[in-house]
Amino acid sequence: MKTKLLFIFLVSSIFGNAQILTETFQGTTFPPTGWTTGTNVASRPWGFTTTIFNATGQATFNITGGKSAGIGWIAQAQDAHLTSPSFSLVGTTSPVLKFNAKIGYEYMVDPNPNGDLKVEVSTDGGTTWTQVWVEENYGLFVDYETLAITVSLSSYAGQANVKVRFHYVANDADSLSIDDVQVLASATLATQENNAKVKGITDIYPNPTRGEINIKTDKKIKSATVFDASGKSLLNNNSERLDISSLPKGIYLLKVDFSDGTSKTEKVIKQ
């Protein structure tokens, strides 16, 4: 039997990849001990995937261990959160949040950006929140594939009263699930988070654009590729300027690959 893990500890010095908080959502009650939830639509709360989805949809959204935490869509405005217990980042210098997620791309990102899964952080007991991640940050992905997310919490190193919450804001969007939540004292950022912090790239502009896209960087560009919502490559070159004036209005993804092996992906809006 898989044992539910929830470790919260306060330390003055943390070394290596020490776990500060872990939650696998395998217990018998929801929310797990210390976690809280809230929703404006009583019929669509955060809950176990084994209870909030029907038998057909359940397998789609389970991630590990037979069940996960999830929320179901509805054709009206939703605002629901799943909030962690408080934990301390005292003694850390580069803490990270890691979790797995299954998210619908078509109705959350493109071509129907009807919702957001936001990761937010509070250092005052939940009075105020700051967004540190949203699903568009990941770049291209396939509907309901398991995404391994790593979010830097370095800005909160040294804080003694930290909470994170998964904030679902949507209207006729898509169901989603999360699992295997960890806060670690330090860890290597996953590819998509490193992409967002590539040194040397300062801007992709104008955005929104009527056609011209400029890439301001001091790195050598290996390739710059524009993708549509299905992941189909529409345009490719190796310069600092692209012209998408021939493409229909909509949302696209621009991926810039650099000669040093790093890359950057950003959403571009064609007006």
How far, in Å, CA of 173 to CA of 62, rounded? 19
Position 266 in a domain: yes
Query: CA separation (Å) from 116 to 133, 152, 263?
Result: 10, 19, 24
How far, in Å, CA of 231 to CA of 252, rounded? 9
Same domain, 106 and 218: no
Q: pLDDT tens for residues 188-220? A: 544 444 444 444 555 788 888 999 999 888 888
Beta strands 233-237 and 77-83 are: unpaired
Mean pLDDT of the chain, nearest integer: 85
Same domain, 158 and 80: yes
Among 157, 184, 211, the domain-final residue is 184
Same domain, 72 and 129: yes
The predicted pLDDT at position 55 comes to 53
The distance from CA 43 to its chain's CA centroid, rounded to whole angstroms, is 24
Same domain, 217 and 147: no
Highest mean pLDDT among 20-29, 220-229, 262-271: 20-29
Position 70 in a domain: yes
Q: Can you tell me the mean pLDDT for 211-235?
A: 86
How far, in Å, CA of 70 to CA of 49, rounded? 5
Same domain, 87 and 156: yes
Number of domains in the chain: 2
Position 32 in a domain: yes
Same domain, 127 and 227: no
Position 221 in a domain: yes
Among 125, 157, 184, the domain-final residue is 184
The predicted pLDDT at position 230 comes to 66
CATH number at residue 156: 2.60.120.260
User: Is the sign of the CA dihedral 173, 175, 179, 181 positive or negative?
Assistant: positive
Same domain, 207 and 175: no
- pLDDT at position 10 over 50: no
Q: Can you tell me the mean pLDDT for 115-136?
A: 96
Same domain, 260 and 176: no
Position 9 in a domain: no
Same domain, 87 and 216: no
Same domain, 230 and 151: no
Query: CA separation (Å) from 12 to 9, 16, 89, 94, 123?
Result: 10, 14, 9, 14, 17
The residue that leads in pLDDT, 133 or 7, is 133
Same domain, 207 and 170: no
Q: pLDDT tens for residues 148-192? A: 999 999 999 999 999 999 999 999 999 999 999 999 998 754 444
The predicted pLDDT at position 202 comes to 55
The predicted pLDDT at position 135 comes to 95
Position 5 in a domain: no
Domain that holds residue 126: 19-184
**Could you tell me which of 255, 192, 250 has the C-alpha nearest to residue 221?**
255
Position 195 in a domain: no
Same domain, 227 and 263: yes
Among 184, 211, 243, the domain-final residue is 184
